[in-house]
Amino acid sequence: MLLVLLSVHILTWNAMSVFSDIFKSNKIMSNFQEFLSNIFLPLFEVTNDPNSNLELHKFLTHVVGFDSVDDESKPENPMLDADVRPPRLWDDDENPPYAYYLYYMYANMTVLNHFRK
């Protein structure tokens, strides 16, 4: 019972770097912005109106963090510069670098956390 109670209080949300591997290759999403919107838009909507999805609203009261997982077996170019495309224009067959994922996850979580205060 203690483990169940403890797990509720330290609940994390796992987000994997799978945009191209799963969503793009199966034509479920066409760009990285759709991936981000799929994760964050419902969170912003339920923060704005908790009655829009009471289950998600209650779930979010227990989430204390996101866990981001990368497939370290796949090589990538981690260099990002001023010419890197924004998420709505990232429609490559290759996944964005992990640092790109992390930046946009961080940026969205920061805005969401401020909105939820």
86-106 per-position pLDDT tens digit: 999 998 888 888 888 889 989
Residue-wise pLDDT tens digits, 27-36? 888 899 998 9
Q: 42: closest CA among 27, 54, 28, 24?
A: 54
For residue 77, the 8-state DSSP code is: -
Q: Where are the domains of the chain?
A: 31-116
Using DSSP's 3-state secondary structure scheme, residue 96 falls into coil
For residue 85, the 8-state DSSP code is: P
- State yes or no: pLDDT of 21 exceeds 80: no
- State yes or no: pLDDT of 4 exceeds 60: no
User: Confidence class of residue 54 from pLDDT cuts 50, 70 and 90?
Assistant: very high
CB 67, CB 12: distance < 8 Å: yes
Give 105's Cβ-side CA count (13 Å radius): 18
